[in-house]
A = this chain, B = another copy of it.
Amino acid sequence: MKLLKSHKTFEGRTEFWSHPSRETKTEMKFSTFTPAGTIKGCLIWLSGLTCTDENFITKASAQRSLAMHGLMVICPDTSPRGLNLPGEHDAYDFGSGAGFYVDATSEGYRDHYRMYSYVTSELVQIIKEHFKVPKISISGHSMGGHGALVIGLRNPKLFKAISAFSPIVNPSAVPWGQKALKGYLGDDTQNWKTYDSCELLRAGQKHPKTILVHQGLSDEFLEPQLKTGHFADLAQQVSQPHQLVLCEGYDHSYYFISTFIDEHIAHHATCFG
């Protein structure tokens, strides 16, 4: 593991890392904030389309609150990099910067686009073995909110808490999700369901803690791509504890995230106990 940059922040450290990944078979980057003193737990943050490991750590204003609660955050990149697969760099919503947190099965992509396993297995191992933090939770934004809901619901023992900002809750039913799932998984729509938080709730997957979701009501993607209400309705039906906070006037940006990130960090801290 290579430490690329390190900056003292709120008495802790904001750092940028690189390592050869066994899952993606590429060099992967991630950023971290580690507070001073005892670390109570580690939040994995999954970013959205076009993002890298840098967006959250530079723009979300999370370090103050993380330091206060004694939490670490780790922010992986959103896809493998440095490859040249067919179609990989043609659009912002597929391929590089758009891994969708799935294990691909399609030709070419299946050898590298293994972001589900990268997060749930390799990154978890790094948190436990390198950073020596045993308790882990998960959150994210947009495509990363989808990733957090899916990964958390499928691994409720491993992840002590789940939250999301503006998540794509029902990717099988919206253009972003359909393009990505078809591209990475082909036409096997049964497999698509294992990467769709609404379908997971429908299939009986649950998490013991309240899932916290913030959604801006002036978010241009809410109706066509996110459909946050689908998740809240299903959670209600299957008695999954959840809190959907609808935020008047807020959009899809990191300014929205920075406004409410403290509430998410407090929620994760409470779930770590």
Which of A216, A254, A258 gathers the greatest number of chain B CB atoms within 10 Å? A258
Which of chain B's residues have a CB closer than 8 A to the CB of A63?
61, 255, 258-259
Bound-state Cα–Cα, A51 to B10, Å? 23
B59 near A258 with CB under 8 A, answer no
If the complex has contacts A58-B59, A61-B64, are A255 and B218 also in contact, measured as CB distance less than 8 A? no
Mask, A10-27, CB within 8 Å of B = 1, is 110010000000000000
Which of A216, A250, A256, A259 gathers the greatest number of chain B CB atoms within 10 Å? A259
Bound-state Cα–Cα, A262 to B68, Å? 14
Which of chain B's residues have a CB closer than 8 A to the CB of A218?
8
Bound-state Cα–Cα, A11 to B253, Å? 14
Bound-state Cα–Cα, A255 to B61, Å? 10
Chain A: interface residue count, which band? 20 to 34
- Would you call A249 an interface residue if the criterion is a C-beta within 8 Å of the partner chain's C-beta atoms? yes
- Would you call A7 an interface residue if the criterion is a C-beta within 8 Å of the partner chain's C-beta atoms? yes
Which of chain B's residues have a CB closer than 8 A to the CB of A61?
61, 63-64, 258
Which of A61, A216, A249, A250 gathers the greatest number of chain B CB atoms within 10 Å? A61
CB distance from A70 to the nearest CB of B (A): 16
Which of chain B's residues have a CB closer than 8 A to the CB of A8?
216, 218, 249-251, 255-256, 259
* A75-106 CB contacts (< 8 Å) to partner B: none
- Would you call A125 an interface residue if the criterion is a C-beta within 8 Å of the partner chain's C-beta atoms? no
Which of chain B's residues have a CB closer than 8 A to the CB of A253?
7
Copies of this chain per assembly: 2
B10 near A254 with CB under 8 A, answer no
B10 near A259 with CB under 8 A, answer yes
- Would you call A50 an interface residue if the criterion is a C-beta within 8 Å of the partner chain's C-beta atoms? no
- Would you call A194 an interface residue if the criterion is a C-beta within 8 Å of the partner chain's C-beta atoms? no
**From A11, which residue of chain B is reached at the shortest CB distance?**
B259
Bound-state Cα–Cα, A14 to B249, Å? 12
**From A62, which residue of chain B is reached at the shortest CB distance?**
B61
**From A253, which residue of chain B is reached at the shortest CB distance?**
B7
A259 near B9 with CB under 8 A, answer yes
Which of chain B's residues have a CB closer than 8 A to the CB of A251?
7-8
Bound-state Cα–Cα, A11 to B58, Å? 21
CB distance from A188 to the nearest CB of B (A): 39
**When A and B form their complex, which 7 residue pairs have the shortest distance between CB atoms, in order from nearest?**
A61-B61, A7-B255, A9-B255, A8-B249, A8-B250, A14-B255, A7-B253
CB distance from A247 to the nearest CB of B (A): 8
**From A259, which residue of chain B is reached at the shortest CB distance?**
B10
CB distance from A245 to the nearest CB of B (A): 14
Which of chain B's residues have a CB closer than 8 A to the CB of A254?
58
